[in-house]
Amino acid sequence: MTVQKKFILGTGILVFLVVVLSGGIVFPTIQSIMGRSQAVLQEKQMLAQFRADKESIADFIRARRIYETELGKVDSLFANPQTPITYIESLEAAAADTNFVLNISPGNPKRIRGEQWPSMDFRLASEGEYSDFLVFLQLLENSSYLMEIKNVSVDRVQQIQGEEKKEEVKFSVLVKVYTSALPQIK
């Protein structure tokens, strides 16, 4: 075998070994690097999403703190359907301010289809001077509760006290007061 043939044979074997080694070592190594780099990219995306979620939660907590007092005020617009004592007390206070002894007949809390909130009806009845009745209605309309005056009935009543005739009215008002959520029946 000549030197030239030995050189060609040696070069061929060397190239064959380089190709086999590169195919057996380099190619799997490159594949491993590519797989790991994609895993790192996914981890970075998840980390970015977690940071965005953390910032969103922090923004929500800040907004909740800012609007917490306003949300409390919104809650105070609704009467408690289980014990509407505070609403009844506000009615009695308005009646006392206008010189009425008020008869209050509460209804049952209910949720009417098509309405946004549950409600409760109250029938209010009393008698007194007409001007006091108008002031009472104004106090009722300006109360801090979310409500609707559904019906007002006023009748004239004459009272004679000694020689003096006193014109008074007997009235009945039906009020629908919106309540907070009704308890779930299990």
pLDDT at 54: 93
Model confidence over 121-173: pLDDT tens digits?
999 999 888 888 999 999 988 888 888 999 999 998 876 666 677 778 899 99
Query: Which DSSP category does 179 fall into?
Result: B
- Residues forming a β-bridge with 43: none
150 and 93 in a single domain? The answer is yes
Asked whether the predicted pLDDT for residue 174 surpasses 60, the reply is yes
Cα 2 from chain centroid (whole Å):
93
Q: Cα separation of 102 and 125, whole Å? A: 6
Q: Cα separation of 101 and 96, whole Å? A: 7
The structure tokens listed for 157 are: 């009543």
Tell which of 55, 75, 95 closes a domain.
Answer: 75
For residues 132 and 153, the answer to whether their CB atoms sit within 8 Å is no
Question: In the chain, what's the furthest Cα-to-Cα distance?
Answer: 154
Residue 183 inside a domain? The answer is: no
62 and 126 in a single domain? The answer is no
172 and 123 in a single domain? The answer is yes
Residue 29 inside a domain? The answer is: yes
Question: Domain residues for 26?
Answer: 1-75
90 and 174 in a single domain? The answer is yes
111 and 41 in a single domain? The answer is no
pLDDT at 160: 66
pLDDT at 3: 83
Residue 159 inside a domain? The answer is: yes
Average pLDDT, the chain: 85
Task: Report pTM.
Answer: 0.58
Model confidence over 110-125: pLDDT tens digits?
888 888 888 999 999 9
Identify which of 176, 182, 185, 184 has the alpha carbon closest to the alpha carbon of residue 82: 182
Q: How many domains does the chain have?
A: 2
Query: Which DSSP category does 164 fall into?
Result: E
